[in-house]
Amino acid sequence: MEIASPPRSWNAAHLAALLGANLSMGIGPVFVRMADTGPAATAFWRLLLALPLLAALLFLTEPRGQRVLRGRTLWIVLAGGVLFGSNLFFAYIGFGMTRLGNVVLLGNSGGVLLMIWGLIAAARLPRPFELAAVLAALTGGALLLGGSLHMSLESFRGDIMGLMSGICYAGYLLILRHARAAIGQFTLLFWATLASLPALLAVSLALGERFMPGVWWPIVALMVTGHLIGQGLLVYSLRHFSSLMIGLALLTQPAISSLTGMVVYGEVIGPLDALGMILLAAALVIARASDRA
């Protein structure tokens, strides 16, 4: 596993877009808490509202031949969409149970999990920097989980939901690893989003959640921050930066979520919690800087 290539050409506008995307997505969790629907229903409405936007971007930016998926690729993307919806579902449960920053950071742990999977698939021992990432992730995760368990069992369970979210996201990236190279970004997002909707609807109805929102603005705000601003700026900026730079910018998401949790909900982050976040964040940066995940 090699370190990624040097940074590509970028300017102040590209950097502002990259940071703006991560800051926008870092604010999103507070709107999940403000929504009056259940976790699966909140994810359903967010994605349903984003679907027309994704369709417009798909038709405006990508060739006609990439818009329709067939055969094996279609089924792979549909399966990936179910994992994508599961990722949101578990994260949204976690946001209601534990600190926002914990869930965001653990939900982004998919990069480390993919690196570990790569080592297992290659049947080799980790190199020094890979071993450092694994040890940092394990130690940081243990500190976060231990701090939450010390607070309450519910907070610990919320962290577990964040970890489940990260596992689902790693599965989403893994199952789509070949499709991502063959089809366009918006094609992938559109079909994965479409596939996640029936699964989220079924889960919401099975759990007896409140499905219809009484107040729509938190879900609209969630869609705007997550898709319109977040994904839009991210797609614009990604091609200009190295994986390491993207990994560093990614850390603004848990940082802004933690700050939002402190300001809005009075969530306290102790010294050991902060150390756990730093270690897990370092592991994510190392994993992101790898050429293959």
Task: Report d(CA 113, CA 118) in Å as an integer.
Answer: 9
Task: Report d(CA 254, CA 22) in Å as an integer.
Answer: 9
The pLDDT value given to residue 2: 36
Give domain status of residue 1, yes or no: no
Give domain status of residue 2, yes or no: no
Range(s) of the domain holding residue 282: 12-289
Tokens standing for residue 248? 């560093």
Counted domains in the chain:
1
Q: Which residues touch 81 (CB under 8 Å, ≥6 apart)?
A: 191, 192, 193, 194, 195, 196, 199
Give domain status of residue 5, yes or no: no
The pLDDT value given to residue 62: 75
The pLDDT value given to residue 6: 44
The pLDDT value given to residue 3: 38
The pLDDT value given to residue 8: 55
Phi-psi region of 56 (alpha: psi -120 to 50; beta: other; left: phi over 0): alpha
Give domain status of residue 3, yes or no: no
Give domain status of residue 30, yes or no: yes
The pLDDT value given to residue 244: 67
Consecutive sets of 10 residues in the chain, 293 residues long: mean pLDDT of each? 49 83 90 96 96 86 72 85 94 94 87 76 77 83 86 92 92 80 78 93 96 96 88 76 73 86 87 85 75 45
Q: What is the pLDDT of residues 97-120, one digit of tens each?
A: 999 999 998 888 877 777 777 777
Report the Cα 88 to chain-centroid distance in Å. 8
| pTM for the whole structure | 0.87
Task: Report d(CA 239, CA 84) in Å as an integer.
Answer: 22
The pLDDT value given to residue 142: 87
